[in-house]
Amino acid sequence: MSNQEPENVSEPEPQKISEGLAEVQTTGKVFYNPVQEFNRDLSISVISTYTRQLLKDQLCTQPGVKCEAGISILEALSATGLRSIRYAKEIPGINKIIANDISARAVQDINSNIKLNNVEDLIEASQNDATMLMYQHKKDSFDVIDLDPYGCPSIFLDSAVQSIKNGGLLLVTATDMAILAGNTPETCYVKYGAVSLRMKCCHEMALRILLQCIESHANRYGRYIEPLLSVSADFYVRVFVKVFHGAQKCKHTISKLSHVYHCTGCDSFALQPLGVTKPHEKNDKLVKFCLPTGPPVSSKCEHCGGSYHIGGPIWSAPIHHPTFVKEVLTSASPGLGTYKRIQGVLSVISEELVDVPLYYTLERLAGTIKVETPSMMAVRSAILNAGFRVSYTHANKTSIKTDAPARVVWDIMRCWEKLHPASKKRIEGNKVASTVLQQAPQREYLFDIHPEANPESKQKGLVRFQANPMPFWGPGSRSQAMVGQDKMTRSVKNQGKRKRPADDSDCNDRVENKLCN
């Protein structure tokens, strides 16, 4: 099929887009996704908080006004320029923004929109390859770099970590969730340097894979990251990290990464750190780096007898900075279009256990042993009554994030099954369920409602877990505006166009992948 457009196709009418304080026009060939308004609103809130902390007493409090002592921002993949224009008009303390795109048509739109919004003194349009532009700014580096590509961001990370200031803020989005969520672990390794797993906690796994990928690129140049906020939303993950210089500190990375052992039967998991730190025998101010012993599990799962898959490495250190999250939550503008969602999501994040990687899901625990699903309050209460901690995660509305060992979690489910016996017919022939239930709990766990079982975010009735923001929603198509388009119509039109495998070997690959999954 030819890539050339028919000569008689007329230019599309410019379309107007209003979001926040910005108003832009696009020809329809430049990518714009209205679903990502939450992404942009959250980014404005995070950068505003970061800028206030950085400038402190500097008198740069008026958004839309150039601040000589202010920050520099690079939006490496700008498309319409909407995000950069919103940054210029809604974030105080900005000295300069570069809105870059490799497309000449996009840059034409960016220039027009800069003039339309009267922000010529704050924004400079650039037509360049994003990676080359960042390499060119290794010396005159940026305070903030925003990478929001279509798909995988890894090709931009090497240049990004080199062109950001010490303590600068790096914002990174990844939309290739199928890869990060374990559908193609071999592709995930190629793109991110980690093996993804098909787990119920795949959304947090995706965040942690992305963070370890950024850290890996940073370490090559004697730099390391500190995650401030990590968000799984809609069809993408988005992380906000500070990048620091310090070759000595990079040595601590080995203790921040872990491999994941995932049981293919009951979905239990265990983490194996790549390294550990211990106090130095002769100097209290130093630490000693050691290799851990392992593995943390035997060849067969102790709970169900299943086999393990091994994934990672993932970032196993905290993915949020609690103090920073609370400051963003406090200072976020109620005038933002998605303010209620920001308030709800950040409230759940502020309640998350920061030192507990990954989570279980309630329906998976109950489904494994074929038992009536308990209420979330009952399970959370049982964990709290046993003396362990528990929280939700913003990534899943039925999540159970806890420091209780897997044995305790399954004992709680066994105690629940005693109170609500599973059907013998459903258990017969199910090896996993029967093996789990054959084991007696080591103690009795109580499901009496604990006073801390109901989190504050739920008590306040906040919008914690967002429904799909629009019909047929998703990441959209590369370099194509979603405004005014009927996605369902396009889907029907394109049905049956997918090509069949070219040869038998392709078919065999597909069958093999299906069997592995």
pLDDT value at 43 more than 50: yes
Domain ranges of the chain: 360-454
For 258, the enclosing helix (H) or strand (E) is strand 257-263
Residue of 169, 212, 211, 154 whose CA lies nearest to 74: 169
Q: What is the pLDDT of residue 501?
A: 43
For the whole model, what pTM was predicted?
0.88
Q: What is the pLDDT of residue 30?
A: 59
516: its two tokens: 């592995």
Number of other CB atoms surrounding residue 35 within 10 Å: 18
Identify the bridge partners of residue 145 per DSSP, sorted by sequence position.
Answer: 74, 170
Answer yes or no: are the C-beta atoms of 60 and 92 closer than 8 Å. yes
Q: Report helix, strand and coil shares of the chain as percent, to nearest 5.
A: 35, 20, 40
Scanning 181-288, the segments in alpha helix (DSSP H) are 185-192, 202-219, 247-250
pLDDT in tens, 399-440: 999 999 999 999 999 999 999 999 888 898 899 999 999 999
- Say which residue the tokens 């967002």 belong to: 466
Distance CA 83, CA 145 (A): 12
Identify the bridge partners of residue 19 per DSSP, sorted by sequence position.
Answer: 22
Residue 242's identity, in one-letter code, is K
pLDDT value at 5 more than 70: no
Answer yes or no: are the C-beta atoms of 55 and 70 closer than 8 Å. yes
pLDDT in tens, 49-83: 999 999 986 767 789 999 999 999 999 999 889 99
Number of other CB atoms surrounding residue 177 within 10 Å: 17
Q: What is the CATH number of domain 360-454?
A: 3.30.56.70
pLDDT value at 249 more than 70: yes
Distance CA 395, CA 457 (A): 15
pLDDT in tens, 458-503: 998 887 666 555 554 555 555 443 443 444 444 444 444 444 444 4
Q: What is the pLDDT of residue 61?
A: 76
**How do beta strands 71-75 and 15-19 pair?**
unpaired
Binned at pLDDT 50, 70 and 90, residue 514 comes out as very low
pLDDT in tens, 118-128: 999 999 999 99
pLDDT value at 42 more than 70: yes
What mean pLDDT comes out for the span 152-159? 97
What mean pLDDT comes out for the span 299-303? 95
Give residues with Cβ within 8 angstroms of 204, minimum separation 6: 232, 319, 357, 358, 359, 393, 395
Q: What is the pLDDT of residue 480?
A: 44
What mean pLDDT comes out for the span 244-258? 96
Give residues with Cβ within 8 angstroms of 7, minimum separation 6: none
pLDDT in tens, 178-207: 999 999 999 999 999 999 999 999 999 999
